[in-house]
Amino acid sequence: MIYLDNSATTKPYNEVINTFTEVATTYFGNPSSLHSLGVKAERLLTEARKRMATTLSVDSDEIIFTSGGTEGNNIALKGTAYARKNRGRHLITTRVEHASVLKVFEELEMDGFEVSYLDVDSLGKIKLEDLYSEIRNDTILVSIHHVNNETGAIQPIEEIGKVLNEYRTIYFHVDHVQGLSKVPLDLTEAKVDLCTGSAHKIHGLKGSGFLYIRKGLNIKALTHGGSQEFGLRTGTENVAGIVAMAKALRLVEEKRVELNQSLYKLREEFINRLKTIEEVVINSPTDGAPHIVNFSVLSLKPEVIVQALAEKEIYVSTKSACSSKASEPSHVLKGMGFSDERANSAIRVSFSYETTNLEVEHLVHQLRIIIPELLEVIRP
């Protein structure tokens, strides 16, 4: 099996699964309980928060645990909008965000907020002058992802942070789900106020994530109940998943330090091989993240290629896993100015630090076989 759909989800590390199992079976107490089992669970929760905060170079009380990227984005965006609506109702984002961001803004628009959607260029990046021109006196929030989940395009978060630092009444949210452990981001240096991460994109388990909230921010809770997670995400914490996520983050950060440049090289070699296939056009920018390559095979439906590769036990995807079953053209590629044909025929290949050169070579070899066969079928 060759698994190349790591932007959809990653295979959990064995060490992570072992950690989860140990905590779930031995330290299963509710961390809010006063007895010894509860106290032990609370200690593990506190230690996991400290370790993650250290890795992210932030304070432990700036980390709240969530169920993943979607919930984190909802808390950050809705929590900011509703808490600060008396200050202003203008929000800014881009046209190429993940669905868990765009859908939230659509809902906020229906609730009386006004949203400005920034365009991107053919490389998938915004222009800072466009951001400047959209900022108003009533702007309260800017949300821009770090790494695009479909193309790997990297937004200039540090430069954006400098711009927004001139307007300290504006909160800056970054969806860091795809960049975490692949493209470094210093949250303090970049002046980021809120940042979202997800465990299952870094070889952790599904159902765990985190939201960084800079000290001093006013965020409205979306759920109500107990006092867990500083009152911003009530409900009994998934201690085993959280501790496993902290383990996954540490392990993948160690691999990033050791293997990140090798991953960039693997991506470059893969793109060069793809360029030798006549029917293939590359959609990802050359300076994108090291783990994502997006390309189109014009005249062919991407799901046909995905299924043909799956029959060879090679697993890739079309677009975001949250949108892959939708028939519409990729909104990301359309936002970059590509044609409907190109946006309708895109394939996404996403690596991990375990991906090998031989696996990539085998993928290209199979594409050389599959593409002509499929084209032969549809040609008169």
Cα gap 98→87, rounded to integer Å: 26
What is the bridge-based pairing of β-strands 280-282 and 292-297? antiparallel
Reported as type and span, the H/E element at residue 210 is strand 209-213
Q: What are phi and psi of 44, to 5 degrees?
A: -65, -40
How many of the other CB atoms lie within 10 Å of CB of 10?
24
* C-alpha 266 chain-centroid distance: 21
Cα gap 247→11, rounded to integer Å: 14
Burial category of 154 from C-beta neighbours within 10 Å (exposed 0-12, middle 13-18, buried 19 and up): buried
Instruction: Please write down the HEC assignment for all residues of 58-79.
Output: CCHHHEEEECCHHHHHHHHHHH
DSSP string, 336-357: TT--HHHHHSEEEEE--TT--H
Bridge partner residues of 175 (DSSP) = 196
For the annotated catalytic residues, the residue numbers are 322
**Residue 318: DSSP 8-state:** S
CA nearest to 349, candidates 287, 259, 266, 279: 266
Reported as type and span, the H/E element at residue 117 is strand 114-118
Q: Is the Cβ–Cβ distance between 57 and 195 less than 8 Å?
A: no
